Amino acid sequence: MFNKLNTYHLLIGFFLLQFTVAHSQIFTSGFYPKKNKVTFAPSYTSKSYDKFYRGTVKNEGNPGNFGEIEADIINLFLEYGITDRISIDVSLPYIQVDGGNAIDPVLKVSSISGWQDLNIYLKGKIADFDTGYGSLNIGAAGGIAFPLSDYEGGGVISLGNESTNLNSDLLLHYETPFKLFVEAQAGYSYRISNKFDIPDAYTYAFKLGYFNKYFYVHSEIDFQDSDGGFDIGSPEFIEAGEAAALPETEIDYTTLTFSAYVPVYKQHIGVSGGYTFTVDGRNFSKEEGFNIGLVFKN
């Protein structure tokens, strides 16, 4: 039996990362690796969108007269258990965005690719309790994300918003004796940029999952609520430079994700997969995507 999800604990943060690498969501979970345990998880994500929310109204097409936009993401994820209660996560996505025949009004290209942001997070378990029918643990995480390449933050198909983000997160995790678990997270992302006035954001996530020695599954709903910003198409947006000012818009969203994992060689190698889509948004793409990956563990 997999002791306290030693193999699975990374997957919630790992799956979440694949679908939100462009939006600075918190990439942590309520599971903790054992001391000196290392996990490496390369993955591939494909997502596309031909609709977006202009403010809160869903529109056909995309800003800048783009039709469907497609994005391919290769992500490298590494986790290390410093102690049984403290771990560090590092991730780095390589992104390719294709806008078809349209030309980005800021970047002056129809496609772009490159390394996006390096994400480094430290996570610790604050307390854990035996409830008499399961276990509850409380944790906290903090981290930094910053551009690893010299990409341009403005534009419709930009790789990211070209900012340094300081992120914090509080985690509550409850697990029953028959391996059903629920989790709640709440965080804040403080954005630093010398080029854009990027709104900070509150982030929230709720998860429901189940695992046994043969497989792992979970569903997850994620929210981002920006602390300020303006709407696409508003007078403030036009005055700020339109597409060149997209990082300064109020980006809110709700996404739903379904994920699964199956071990293929003992507890050391496994395969993962997932599907996600936008439920609702504000100045955000109406997107859907899938993810496949490998997980290697010592």
Contact of 267 with 33, CB cutoff 8 Å: no
Residue 56: its pLDDT value, please? 94
CATH code assigned at 182? 2.40.160.40
pLDDT reported for residue 264 = 93
Q: What span, in angstroms and rounded, lies between the C-alpha atoms of 195 and 160?
A: 13
Instruction: Quote the domain boundaries for residue 80.
Output: 3-297
Q: What is the DSSP string of 216-256?
A: EEEEEEEEEEEES-B-TTSHHHHHHTGGGGGGGB--EEEEE
Q: What is the pLDDT of residue 277?
A: 95
Q: Are 184 and 208 contacting, i.e. CB atoms less than 8 angstroms apart?
A: no
Residue 25: the pLDDT is 52
Q: 10 Å Cβ neighbour count for 145?
A: 25
Quote the number of domains for the chain.
1
Q: Could you list the mean pLDDT of each consecutive 10-residue stretch along the chain, which spans 298 residues? A: 42 44 58 92 94 92 83 95 95 93 90 95 95 94 94 92 95 95 95 95 95 92 95 92 92 95 89 95 95 93
